[in-house]
Structure 1
């Protein structure tokens, strides 16, 4: 295993199908995740890391030449910026510049989460995605929890009420958030348990897509063609949809809209329910299954 392969088992927030993508990492720290992404996007992709801590940004910059030499890239495909994730325009990040915005447990530390999501939406290209992991609360947190230094440092005091995430995301223009994974957080400290009371916390990963609502969208049948690195046979898209290569799955109209208008479009055969379906070029008859059912004839 080399220094770019270990991410597969380490729980980093890295989405699928990112070859040649331009990616912005919010809260990039010392650049660890960014350098993993450098390999995954390839020499024609690009990664920008932004962090508010000057020492972290300087550390990240020191290793650019090392990693570019390791990857044998002619030109660097990464840069690091000192700045605040609520004010991306202040550091020169332009509208519709990125295919993906990612973040790993950083948004909860922001005092203005609406500004973070609004800026992420602004810099994303049409069809782009914010794919991020963070901590969420079961209710709106009272001041006693938000002001607790220990809980804040543990990424709990700044946790967003999950209902507020849905409201803010849709207010700034994203389609409704799509849950990918979630796990409950346990607090093994009696004093802190007394402070939080009956409030519960979860660590969750969400996908937010920058795609306009489409009133003409329809339910569709889709076939995953495979071929996404690391997900050649099966793509676990979110908590509701797991696509197996060559198999037909019916999806709701919102999911169909996302697949048709995002970087996943070339990875699927998509057809409105009830219409005659095209011949899948890369799928054997055995894999196609009901795609060629008698109801077509």
Structure 2
């Protein structure tokens, strides 16, 4: 049985019209209840109702410091996140959404003028493309043309993940980043899991072994992945539990930076001035570093020395998820994660 290729239709099948999260066999596509900064909440509220209703993604993956940025959204669906981001980047920025489902792209395009007028822009700063996220060149996306690439629980639905990451690296500017959430496995998946239709549709069958992400990042040229958030995925079906066996799954958000090779990592001190909208008092960079305004923060440089970096920071998403479960607390204001346990504050 070949694994399904239509990523967006799988999302529709899981949580689309006529179905709810109660129909899912896992919590792998249930939005995590995370506090979201006020300016992002307001941007989402300004998105047209039909765009929001037709959006079948899950979670929210929006990094900080977006003013004037050029952003590419992989698997943009009906365009909800793109339209929210278009307000955040401002009229001098630009947002491009690419999705393989033509119907969703058409819904997104219907509201270009609506959001341009809603935000008071002279011209629209959003573009939607029908295409595949592992074939960005075929979609006309140029080298080094974007500051940020985002993706939410979509890369796992593409068989050739290395090609996706290679394409992302190509289109990112130097200094840019891939800020993305996806599902990862605790071990290399056997064929029985990879080809199981339900597990694929639940975003588990295509999950990457989490250590392979670090291997692929190094091979392609990214700096070592920075782990932001992680949540364990639970299975709600006895038959699926039997098939999965000892394998575990986690939803995790990572940051991958495209930076020049600066040699071995060095210790450094950083002082955050508080100039990023929505993060005036502190900046939560990842699971390991929080930069408080006007205070020294000891950290590790962004060089490519993977060995030194791994000695100093948490990289295992399963460890982070387990540690978080041991000490229940409200999630940070970092918007991320396509799945995991719901929490309330």
TM-score band by shorter chain is: 0.7 to 0.9
Distance 1:210 1:61 in 2: 30
Distance 2:292 2:206 in 1: 38
The alignment's TM-score, normalised by the length of structure 1, stands at 0.83
Distance 2:101 2:282 in 1: 39
How far apart are 1:42 and its partner, in Å? 0.5
Instruction: Evaluate the alpha carbon distance shift between residue 152 and residue 95 of structure 1 in structure 2; reply closer, same or farther with a 3 A threshold.
Output: same
In the alignment, what sits opposite 2:11? none
Q: 2:183 aligns with which of 115, 135, 139?
A: 135
Unaligned runs of 5+ in 1: 258-297
How far apart are 1:198 and its partner, in Å? 0.7
Matched, 1:254 2:293: no
Q: 2:61 aligns with which of 13, 24, 28?
A: 13
In the alignment, what sits opposite 1:210? 258
Instruction: Evaluate the alpha carbon distance shift between residue 216 and residue 112 of structure 1 in structure 2; reply closer, same or farther with a 3 A threshold.
Output: closer
After superposition, the C-alpha distances for 1:86-119 in whole angstroms (9 at most, x for unaligned) are 1100111110000000000000000110000000
Is the contact between residue 219 and residue 256 of structure 1 (CA under 8 Å) also seen in structure 2? no
Matched, 1:244 2:283: no
Matched, 1:61 2:109: yes
RMSD over equivalenced CA pairs, Å: 1.9
How far apart are 1:3 and its partner, in Å? 5.7
Instruction: Evaluate the alpha carbon distance shift between residue 205 and residue 6 of structure 1 in structure 2; reply closer, same or farther with a 3 A threshold.
Output: farther
Determine which structure has greater relative contact order: mean sequence separation of CA pairs < 8 Å that are 6+ residues apart, divided by chain length.
2
Q: 1:49 aligns with which of 92, 97, 100?
A: 97
In the alignment, what sits opposite 1:173? 221
Matched, 1:184 2:223: no
In the alignment, what sits opposite 1:80? 128
Is the contact between residue 264 and residue 304 of structure 2 (CA under 8 Å) also seen in structure 1? no
In the alignment, what sits opposite 2:43? 4
Q: 1:148 aligns with which of 181, 192, 196?
A: 196
After superposition, the C-alpha distances for 1:239-282 in whole angstroms (9 at most, x for unaligned) are 1100100111111122799xxxxxxxxxxxxxxxxxxxxxxxxx
Is the contact between residue 224 and residue 304 of structure 2 (CA under 8 Å) also seen in structure 1? no
- What pairs up with 1:93-172 in 2 under 5 angstroms? 93-172=141-220
Is the contact between residue 156 and residue 203 of structure 2 (CA under 8 Å) also seen in structure 1? yes
After superposition, the C-alpha distances for 1:174-227 in whole angstroms (9 at most, x for unaligned) are 001010000100001101000100100000000000002212763211110002
Matched, 1:200 2:248: yes
After superposition, the C-alpha distances for 1:41-90 in whole angstroms (9 at most, x for unaligned) are 00100000000010010010001111111001000000000001011001
User: More strand per residue: 1 or 2?
Assistant: 1
Q: 1:234 aligns with which of 282, 307, 325?
A: 282
Distance 1:243 1:11 in 2: 25
SS in 2 for 1:150: helix
- What pairs up with 1:22-37 in 2 under 5 angstroms? 22-37=70-85
SS in 2 for 1:171: helix
How far apart are 1:6 and its partner, in Å? 5.0
The alignment's TM-score, normalised by the length of structure 2, stands at 0.71
Is the contact between residue 72 and residue 96 of structure 2 (CA under 8 Å) also seen in structure 1? yes
Is the contact between residue 18 and residue 41 of structure 1 (CA under 8 Å) also seen in structure 2? yes
Greater Rg over alpha carbons, structure: 1
Is the contact between residue 265 and residue 300 of structure 2 (CA under 8 Å) also seen in structure 1? no
Unaligned runs of 5+ in 2: 1-37, 47-57, 306-345
Instruction: Evaluate the alpha carbon distance shift between residue 55 and residue 11 of structure 1 in structure 2; reply closer, same or farther with a 3 A threshold.
Output: closer
Q: Count residues with an aligned counterpart.
A: 255
